[in-house]
Amino acid sequence: MQTDSSFTFVLFGGTGDLSMRKILPALFEAHRAGGMLADSGKIVAVARHATDRREYIEWVNEHVKPHVSKNGVDETAWASFLERIEFVNIDLGKAEDFVHLRDAIKDLPGIRVFYLATGPSLFVPICHALASVGLNENSRIVLEKPLGYDLKSSNAINDAVGEIFAEEQIYRIDHYLGKEPVQNLLALRFGNALFEPLWRREWVESIQITIAEELGVEARGDFYDNTGALRDMVQNHLLQLLSIVAMEPPHSMDSDSVRDEKLRVLRALKPIDPRDIGKVAVRGQYHSGVIRGTAVPAYATESGVRPDSTTETFVALKVEIENWRWAGVPFFLRTGKRLADRVAEIVVNFRAVPHSALGASALRAGANRLVIRLQPNETIRLYCLAKQPGEGMNLASVHLDLAFDQFFREGQMEAYQRLLLDVINGRLALFVRRDEQEAAWRWVEPILNEWKASNKPPKPYASGTWGPAASSAMLAQHGTCWLEEEN
């Protein structure tokens, strides 16, 4: 992925955690690779926690450098990367300060990208301030999640931003869409004749999508206690992954063709009757426990969390898609904190053979499945049945393994690196369009409302487990179980 596109990348929240851990390291990797970023491209950090460029560069050396390049830092590349960086100290709450930003970047070349790595409460004020000094013209703006607390607040932000930036200027980022296995899922489905004929209700028994974390809320207790797992993970990451798994083949990979097909999936999600939420939605909250030999506290005792909090840290859902391809196929979504392992994966469980000519051992060995692992190790595995060596026809499950780090010699591109390059180059396909976001909120909101109205506490689960037992029971009712493997 090479570009000659010159750019000025303005990073609001330049000293924040996201900038430190993801954005600046991703830009460095693109710079280090050579040819991915135009030589004339500049990065302009905006923050209040540094007084000038010298102090900011010191901060970058101290805090960002440890997060780049797993195999060590190329000092020559690092030094030339720092030469790209400029710094502007302004108060984001003061619109008059944006004159200083305008003056600082007026002579810098190329397309202007404004990345809002800030809290959502600042999105609208920053956009208004940019417009007040004419910086909204011929530019692109990147919005991080969460974009709103519910459908109403999401629409309010989108309306306000949409008055200043056109939809084709707005890049709503979901970093899971930039992960290599998600890209390979598209290649697997639409670049091969093998899988697409099987990718439908006649051959697929169920699909699971899991995003599990070992970490708790860390230092985000105040934020998380007003958000919860359904808003933080399901409304965006999980529903976006579901839409890519279930979408129809687009006629091309241009931005609106892909996003049109994702939108059709989101609009086809079967609405959940409030009376059935207890049957198809499980919410949990972690209690104290042990993870990798270390005792960890309960959610209610975390810093910033209310002791009587009913915020969910775990969600499991049964989802149905009301269209011709997927009618009757359950999609099981699961996410949670303080679970037994850190893993993100998509599991496609195919139907068993209708008749076993090979005897009972074929039935005991199970059916075929495809496992697309997003993290921590990115792989795609196809599980098939094969005869065990020896006498008799005894079958066992074996797998074909596409391990990207072994098959491809060049290093994989991290999600943020890919997405930032897409912003610079004006590619919108991997970013969330407004109507997609609205459709997701519209489906999620009845669950939020019912949980709030019922005032029932989340089901407890011990840290270091796979969540409440009710999650497994929900799948057992459909004759299946969660896939829980060692990394």
CA distance readout (Å), 463 to 186, 212, 293: 35, 12, 11
* Dihedral (CA of 140, 141, 142, 145) sign: negative
Q: How many CB atoms lie within 10 A of CB 425?
A: 15
- The residue with tokens 């195999």 is 71
Give the C-alpha separation, 26 to 67, whole Å: 10
- 3-class SS at 349? strand
8 A C-beta contact, residue 88 and residue 44: yes
- The residue with tokens 């049109």 is 260
The CA angle 201-204-208, to the nearest 5 degrees, is: 115
8 A C-beta contact, residue 272 and residue 320: no
List the beta bridge partners of residue 285.
Answer: 460
SS3 for 258-286, per residue? HHHHHHHHHHHECCCCHHHHHHHEEEEEE
8 A C-beta contact, residue 111 and residue 426: yes
8 A C-beta contact, residue 173 and residue 145: yes
Give the C-alpha separation, 417 to 271, whole Å: 36
8 A C-beta contact, residue 59 and residue 65: no
Active site residues: 237
